[in-house]
Amino acid sequence: MYDELNGRVALVTGAATGIGRHTAVAFAQAGARVTIADVNVEKLKETLSMIEDAGGTGLLTRTDVSDPKQVEEMIEKTLEEFGQLNYACNNAGIGGEMKRTADFSVEEWDRLIGINLKGQWLCMKQEILAMLENGGGSIINVASILGTVGFDQAALYTASKHGLVGLTKAAALEYAEENIRINAVCPGFIDTPMLEQAGITSDPETRQAIEGLHAMGRLGSSDEIADAVLWLSSNRSSFVTGHTLLVDGGYTAR
């Protein structure tokens, strides 16, 4: 569907499971070579097999996105292996525990913001430098509906995602004339291991309550987010930058 992705180079962080895995495989199916990064190497290997089964080429890197050195190495490896970077999907993130604002510890703040916000900026910083070298590119940050609205007992996560939306807009302004488009995708609740770990999909009552928050009455799938990421990567979205694309089954329309 997006011919121009064929032979190009994409990078997906948090590619071991969920949205990242499906996005990496979708890039490979479109013919792009893909660097897949995550801290979970075991699951990352499964993603690599899925890419290869789809006839694609992947490069696996164990990268903690909150570590500046590891992020630099991730980009270096990509450029060494593939020679350029055209698309980057900054997707790695954690949910954190659910509790009220005053009950979080400083350590929890540092960890969550360190991965979900600082980590995304560290990746963007290196990706932008690489893309400037090859005349442009497209960066897609996976934020959340909680980058646009609040949610009880998730203040740190909500703050990290609002921060990411701000980072996306400011960076988009700065690099627009250098042919780097920078956008955010804001998913509603998506059926991934993150929701399972949070006890949302493992408990039928909780699942039903969360489904009911979406106008469409269901959770989204990782493929529905991957589709948005591929569109934002492709030339079909050539006049779109600094945008926050809600893919939320109507959650925020209420």
For position 251 contacting ligand NAI by CB under 6 A, the verdict is no
Pick the closer one to ligand NAI by CB: 11 or 16.
16
Stretch that binds ligand NAI, among 59-67, 97-105, 172-180, 233-241 (CB under 6 A): 59-67
Q: Site for ligand NAI (CB under 6 A): which residue of 10, 75, 89, 92?
A: 92
For position 112 contacting ligand NAI by CB under 6 A, the verdict is no
Query: Active-site residue 157, yes or no?
Result: yes
DSSP string, the chain: --GGGTT-EEEEESTTSHHHHHHHHHHHHTT-EEEEEES-HHHHHHHHHHHHHTT--EEEEE--TT-HHHHHHHHHHHHHHHS---EEEE--------B-GGG--HHHHHHHHIIIIIHHHHHHHHHHHHHHHTT-EEEEEE--GGGTS--TTBHHHHHHHHHHHHHHHHHHHHHGGGTEEEEEEEE-SB-SHHHHHTTSSSSHHHHHHHHTTSTTSS-B-HHHHHHHHHHHHSGGGTT--S-EEEESTTGGG-
Q: Site for ligand NAI (CB under 6 A): which residue of 91, 233, 234, 237?
A: 91
For position 58 contacting ligand NAI by CB under 6 A, the verdict is no
Q: Site for ligand NAI (CB under 6 A): which residue of 2, 8, 11, 18?
A: 18
Binding-residue pattern over the window 26 to 55 for ligand NAI, x denoting contact by CB under 6 A: ------------xxx---------------
| Residues engaged in binding ligand NAI (CB under 6 A) | 13-14, 16-20, 38-40, 63-66, 91-94, 115, 119, 142, 144, 187, 189-190, 192-195
